Amino acid sequence: MKVNDLIRAGLVRRWHANPDLAWTGETNGHHQWTVAALIAALHPAPSANLLREALLHDVGEVMAGDLPYPFKQDNPEIARAHAAFERAQRERLCAAWPLTIGETTWLELADRLAAHLWMLAHRPGLAVRDGWPEAREGILAIARKLFVQVDIEAILTEAEARG
CATH number where 81 lies: 1.10.3210.10
- Interval 35-56: pLDDT, tens: 999 999 999 999 999 999 999 9
pLDDT score at 1? 62
User: 90 or 114, which is more confident?
Assistant: 114
Read off the pLDDT band of 102 (50, 70, 90): very high
What value does the mean pLDDT of the chain take? 94
The parent domain of residue 7 ranges over: 3-162
Would you give the DSSP letter of residue 85? H
- The gap between the terminal CA atoms of the chain, to the nearest Å, is 40
Q: pLDDT band for 33, please (50, 70, 90 cuts).
A: very high
pLDDT digits (tens, 9 = 90+) for 56-82: 999 998 888 888 888 888 999 999 999
Q: How far apart are CA 62 and CA 57, in angstroms?
A: 11
Q: At residue 64, what is the residue type?
A: A
**Residue 13: strand pairing partners:** 27
- What is the domain count for the chain? 1
